Structure 1
């Protein structure tokens, strides 16, 4: 049958499904308004142009709408699969469940700070990591947490503080559980290097160790290896860094990262960025302290780059950064999706560089290693615990400032301090608690008060602590009076002693340096029945070597033994 013989007749035109499915014959070009009328004895059923026009347009619109719907659904499907693809690239580990530091108390506005532990692993568990890290004999060995930085985001998101801990810091490591290998590591007998924590239960053990040392509750962790640093540095597009002389980090024995830069500012990325972050030989005095300072400069510069350049507005670079970040990072299960990482990045981006402060934990040498400097380190940790800004605003930006309100007289009043956390373990009766008292009332400017330990022991005895004794052999010097206890089962006893002496719960800390509840009488209690209440000092210790995030003039000092002409 010729096609012309059915033109305009009922079957195709009356098919109810053709129009619904967008199968209008007109769209194939079969309509020809210039065709002469057919010769037939009956009147042709052809409709007028006025009638056919709207009908044809409706069919075309239906077809276009259907096609667009398919395209939108296809795009959404591709977006979903890409989103899932990125999610599947993220490795996760669980945060520890027990023996955690107390949760931060919300400020008056109900906001809480956010603490993230950033860990740089020296794992040589892949070919890429082995090539970048060298030391072939360590392939597949136990990884070390060679970079550790605590990032503190204030409750009101107005400032950010970072504390670096040198990898050779000696700390007390708590009992840790390795879930992957179904193994439990006992608490360290004394101090050990902090970078060994990663091999005693993964990032969770590093988190527990930080919490034990600082009393700061850590909400999340992010861990990256050698290859991850290189890939993310490439995705960002480079970070400018500065040295005050030509540098080549390599000595005659082959020690050093291999970093080679000319004097001045250089945009580094890829393997060169990793070399910068690992360089110890050639920076400052060749110690981990100098390396931490270089890492701070890199992070500050990277933050400025991410805020100022086109990386976050360039779709190609943004996609590359997303892919590299999700593949490079191991995070806790609370950050196990792109959406959660994106939300975290939005929170971090609220802080301008001028309110970002990089610090190094105050330290003192113990042989070839370092230990936290007793008073300065605790001061820095306290500022972070209390959400006080390190940028010189003295708490006006963090939790303290957010906790203030106008009084009727127009003066500023600080809200009442929250109840201090106490142990769930009940204390024994005072007569059953063994207490040792040590005299640490001396300082650089004055001698220790003779017999002070005996005086405080007698004071305790008068309050029912009949087993309190003085340790006259201790030679210590502490600015603040503290109470130490050796294990969790004695925490309640130590807190009871603190309460009896009028000391805050924050002065009570666990320590493997003692064998019983121990009162260390500091220079703040040289006389009387209670320690002096000095004016609160909310300044960042000078020994923290603070670096402001907006300081673009920072430049690493090069050891003359590692320069070149």
Structure 2
């Protein structure tokens, strides 16, 4: 296959030279001209750098990050989960220190605000959330050859693929949530770990893929946490070359199309993927083409591409679990080398041992309990924004509810081992968080609920006159373990379930936020939970080997 057989689907912006790496860095500098990468075109045919109102977004061009192997082109995140599922089985015994040296790392979270870790269940188990990030950057000759577009070499990357992998606390099920790259979000303030540069929070909403250019993957993590309220434990990224090598190592990944497809239009746009109708194993550059294809699948959108990536991920997981050829030591050695060379992770995953331990947890889940989804969204011009269904999906992940609809064994709510102080000694701040997307805050709710607490003996309860951030459900937050018992005591007095008592570094004491579920009345009634995965999430079961991508008739051949 020629150098240009997997071309970038988009026309690149003009090349610009990046700053050089400071002397003394022990990593080799990138070779060749430096430039900003090309963003894939939006659905309206634009250049992918415009905000919700059509105005140009400049965040991408404000910084030229020095080329680093840790920021390679990592776009095809579907294969990342497969690396973890494999578990580098024999790799722990092959050149352990050498393999550890292959792995690059970056800080986990570059934002200021934090999201509290989930409270352990009665068995002491907690879920794991791993953000998989892929970018358009190309900073090695091999990745440049695979990615095309010479003028993008070494440019500031865009987080064009973002997938959250959620492993349940009891390790019985796994959920994957993809966010379209052109989702409009608020990127929080982030500080670059390399040079200390501060990127202010964006004014208004910006495409989520620009978060990677605000200091690195830790800003993408911060953006996710701000949007979803989900605590993220780790991130992991993989580059173009890693996709190719791992697809080769497993002997190809079966994929299906419902008609002959050639992803190429008259202007030369497309990945170049050419497959006949039916199911075929793809490997090498053809596997990369599948993961990059947008032109030719369904409506040609990023949503269709995400669907194809989900199919590939599911198929590779099944392949890795079934493929006996991976017991071959030489193939394992090759896969271990390629995988560790391709990875950039947070410090919590920066050794083969840590990756092996994580993969051991992931491998406990059978394919039929893995659910792939896309964040429910609606169009805003040529972009998209999360819908109410998206918040429903995020809540299910936050509360560790399986997306496959299968019931889980309910464990009793864990009460704190820390005894509560006397009611009259517990200081409580009450805030009004009853605002919704369509309703103004209910007047006087903080004052009313604070009065209820005083009547019940919590004489130090006071109302905060300022309106709090919107909360769908009433919640009691506390900053540290020694106040957990006090927070649970406040919740119990008002009939609020223990599951709504959360630790948070955003509060300085026991804080009750009256949510949109308690806009009136003096008796709290917990709403009945709708724990079904929204249909708009387009759920795909990991064991579904009959799924087939629909081919747009304009991209078929005979």
TM-score of the two chains, using structure 2 as the length reference = 0.68
Of 541-550 and 383-392, the range deviating more from structure 2? 383-392
Of structures 1 and 2, the one with the larger relative CO (CA 8 A, separation 6+) is 2
Distance 1:209 1:242, change over 3 A: same
Counterpart Cα distance in 2 of 1:80 and 1:457:
59
- Contact 2:434/2:472 (8 A) holds in 1: no
Is structure 2 residue 538 aligned with structure 1 residue 540? Answer: no
- Contact 2:495/2:525 (8 A) holds in 1: no
Q: CA deviation at 1:437?
A: 7.1
- Contact 1:300/1:353 (8 A) holds in 2: yes
Choose from 70, 94, 100 the match for 2:107.
94
Distance 1:440 1:153, change over 3 A: closer
What number of residue pairs does the alignment pair up?
431
Choose from 234, 241, 261 the match for 2:248.
234
Alignment correspondent of 2:18: none
- Contact 1:129/1:225 (8 A) holds in 2: yes
Q: CA deviation at 1:243?
A: 0.5
Distance 1:395 1:111, change over 3 A: same
Alignment correspondent of 2:212: 198
- Alignment partner of 2:129: what SS? strand
- Alignment partner of 1:145: what SS? coil
- Alignment partner of 1:265: what SS? strand
Counterpart Cα distance in 1 of 2:190 and 2:251:
39
Alignment correspondent of 2:148: 134
Distance 1:209 1:427, change over 3 A: farther
Q: CA deviation at 1:548?
A: 0.7
Distance 1:438 1:353, change over 3 A: closer
Choose from 375, 381, 385 the match for 1:367.
381
Counterpart Cα distance in 2 of 1:254 and 1:501:
64
Q: CA deviation at 1:130?
A: 2.2
Matched ranges for 1:337-486 at <5 A: 337-374=351-388, 376-396=389-409, 401=410, 403=411, 414-416=412-414, 453=442, 480=472
Distance 1:506 1:466, change over 3 A: closer
Counterpart Cα distance in 2 of 1:321 and 1:81:
11
TM-score of the two chains, using structure 1 as the length reference = 0.67
Distance 1:549 1:466, change over 3 A: closer
Deviations 1:103-124 (Å, cap 9, x if unpaired)? 1221211122111111112112
Alignment correspondent of 2:71: none
Deviations 1:445-483 (Å, cap 9, x if unpaired)? xxxxxx9956869968989869679xxxxxxxx995689
Is structure 2 residue 203 aligned with structure 1 residue 189? Answer: yes
Distance 1:368 1:457, change over 3 A: farther
Matched ranges for 1:263-282 at <5 A: 263-282=277-296
Higher helix share: 1
Alignment correspondent of 1:53: none
Alignment correspondent of 2:26: none
Of 332-341 and 296-305, the range deviating more from structure 2? 332-341
- Contact 1:436/1:468 (8 A) holds in 2: no
Q: Which runs of 5+ in 2 are unaligned?
A: 1-90, 418-425, 453-461, 476-486, 505-512
- Contact 1:482/1:507 (8 A) holds in 2: no
- Contact 1:118/1:151 (8 A) holds in 2: yes
- Alignment partner of 2:314: what SS? helix
Q: Which runs of 5+ in 1 are unaligned?
A: 1-77, 404-413, 420-425, 443-450, 470-477, 484-494, 511-518
Distance 1:188 1:310, change over 3 A: same
Is structure 2 residue 549 aligned with structure 1 residue 556? Answer: yes
Distance 1:287 1:532, change over 3 A: farther
